[in-house]
Amino acid sequence: MNVETLRAVVSKMLFLHSYDDDEMETCCREAKDILSNDVSDAILFFQTECTDEEFFWLSSVFEDVSALVQSKQFIQVLRARLALVTRESYDQKSFKSEHMRQWVDYDEYVRSISMDIDYAESALNDK
């Protein structure tokens, strides 16, 4: 998996206007393709390299990736990654995206990603 390409896609997502649905859909499709190409590399990325902000934006494709890769380990790693984000370590002011700095407090962050992980788990055929 090319981490730099994935990061470039996430960077685009950070600065899209909320009304630019077509470009956001394109970014999500690209992220899904990158993450689902090699689930082992995706798992390693989430375990070792993924920032809190990247994790938030990529969560929008967890369900699609899960449906393609059908990996319980992928879901376990996502849950473990989310558990690393504590109220004490969450630094909303450090995010690059204005949307996150302004609107995504700790509780919203956890709620949103938890929901996306739950949807991803429901996409597994053999739950």
Structure tokens at 11: 């960077």
Counting DSSP H helices and E strands in the chain, the numbers are: 8, 0
pTM: 0.94
In degrees, rounded to 5, the angle at the alpha carbon of residue 33 between the alpha carbons of residues 14 and 16 is 20
Structure confidence by residue, pLDDT tens digits, 1-52: 899 999 999 999 988 866 678 989 999 999 999 999 999 999 999 999 999 9
Domain positions in the chain are 3-122
Structure tokens at 8: 């470039």
